[in-house]
Structure 1
């Protein structure tokens, strides 16, 4: 079976939840993507598996990502909407146009991050990197390279602790110190935050909002940290692909050579099957 057939038969994740509009809003949240899409996605449960006759076959490369305007860190208007103190992280993006987001945690690591950047650059694709401060301070050149390529850099704390088990003072320090080093190396403070291990609590949401960041989780965990093999990682991404999906992978924290090889395999397949790999954007007035 070809990759196009695999994607055609795949269960598409169409149950995209609405944007969280205020601090008290609960439920899985979707956010805007970088192509200018706006408004909440429809709610509902995932639909049935798509069959070959459900829609016309996609032409290879017909929906490849067009380059964003210019390179370097995204320009933020002065009218950026400040983040609310939320109760849950965003878990997916507005999937209209078959948009997906690739994210990489725990870096940057000079052993693996440069290869990931080269692969993304070769396909003219932007991704998100949630970096740890203790790694970023040692490899600021890689953050500058991410900025030059137009990737989004998010905050993943300084030392990757489980935030729900440490003091509020340390939670704030872990987040604030990392934002400072990102601003120094990347050129602007981060707009996104991801809690290590996906461990969130009220203090994390509050401090994130105070530091100007929105919380982002993920829809699809590749479990690449278990080093299951590049083929298995590729299969997980292909089987879980769908509109609105946020993919979690890693570019540091251990041997990530399998993650590097898997990206080289699944990224061309996603693009040729009609997925638009993009990055989320914050709302503006």
Structure 2
């Protein structure tokens, strides 16, 4: 597919999804700092599970996938990454790191498509270079793609020039394959430093960490991954999983189990939108 065709198809998708999301959602996620939410976020704990009609599974993004066209694109330089989101409603965000991997990412996308759910994929540029078609699919299906560096290094051991190269090369390959430059960044291993925050902001990216770590990279077993997601489920949380970087078959099986359970419990699984300064 040519890049201009991909861009046209994505604009059509975003326009339709934004209209549906605005009508279907009462609140908007508001970004909060790593030190704690600025809005009210209910505490984690056992949630009352209640059945939903199948139509309630048709979840849309909150008010669109990007900023208003008129908004100035200035990104705050943070001292800590965002950890969660606040706002009305039982909203959660699912994120997947290190891909795309043709062995596991398609199965993750298939499960998300089955329940009409959007997620975030923090991709590595080196993986994108060999699997561009998977980013094209993410764009068509309304998922958000973030920057996870080119080669997954420990940024705190790199020079400023090295960090910029890791970020910038990945921004470029994402734009080429996905159709837009990334608006979100996640440091490998969760290891940010002042340079990473500053360069990310210069490249127009907001830094996002996570609230619930499934520890799926340790291959603890499908049941263990499911349990961690269920125990950590609460409004505003960001769940970390992986679709690459090793054997992720447990992660794929776990998603098939916990996603419908979250939806049955009344959670809305969607993607955040950026708030620009």
**What TM-score comes out, normalization by structure 2 length?**
0.82
Q: Cα gap change, 1:43/1:60 in structure 2, threshold over 3 Å: closer, same or farther?
A: closer
1:19 has 2:17 as partner? no
Q: Aligned pairs, how many?
A: 248
Cα root mean square deviation, aligned: 2.6
Q: Cα gap change, 1:132/1:222 in structure 2, threshold over 3 Å: closer, same or farther?
A: same
Q: Cα gap change, 1:116/1:27 in structure 2, threshold over 3 Å: closer, same or farther?
A: same
1:122 has 2:114 as partner? yes
Give SS of 1:130's match.
strand
Equivalent residue number for residue 185 of structure 1: 177
Equivalent residue number for residue 66 of structure 1: 59
Residue-by-residue CA offset, 1:88-133 (whole Å, 9 max, x unaligned): 1000011521100000000000000000000000000000000000
8 Å contact 2:89–2:235 — kept in the other structure? yes
Give SS of 2:153's match.
coil
Equivalent residue number for residue 33 of structure 1: none
Matches within 5 A, 1:138-177: 138-177=130-169
8 Å contact 1:81–1:282 — kept in the other structure? no
8 Å contact 2:212–2:229 — kept in the other structure? yes
How far is 1:79 from its partner? 1.5
Q: What is the aligned counterpart of 2:189 among 153, 177, 197? A: 197
Equivalent residue number for residue 224 of structure 1: 216
How far is 1:27 from its partner? 1.7
Equivalent residue number for residue 131 of structure 1: 123
Q: What is the aligned counterpart of 1:99 among 91, 100, 113? A: 91
**What TM-score comes out, normalization by structure 1 length?**
0.80
How far is 1:68 from its partner? 4.6
How far is 1:18 from its partner? 7.2
Q: Cα gap change, 1:51/1:214 in structure 2, threshold over 3 Å: closer, same or farther?
A: closer
Residue-by-residue CA offset, 1:52-111 (whole Å, 9 max, x unaligned): 7xxxx734248534335999x757624144111110100001152110000000000000
> 2-side partners of 1:154 and 1:195: how far apart?
10
Q: Cα gap change, 1:236/1:205 in structure 2, threshold over 3 Å: closer, same or farther?
A: same
1:90 has 2:82 as partner? yes
> 2-side partners of 1:166 and 1:123: how far apart?
41
> 2-side partners of 1:247 and 1:43: how far apart?
16
Q: Which runs of 5+ in 1 are unaligned?
A: 1-15, 21-25, 31-39
8 Å contact 1:194–1:217 — kept in the other structure? yes
> 2-side partners of 1:149 and 1:19: how far apart?
27
8 Å contact 1:103–1:248 — kept in the other structure? yes
Q: Cα gap change, 1:109/1:70 in structure 2, threshold over 3 Å: closer, same or farther?
A: farther
1:41 has 2:45 as partner? no
How far is 1:42 from its partner? 2.5
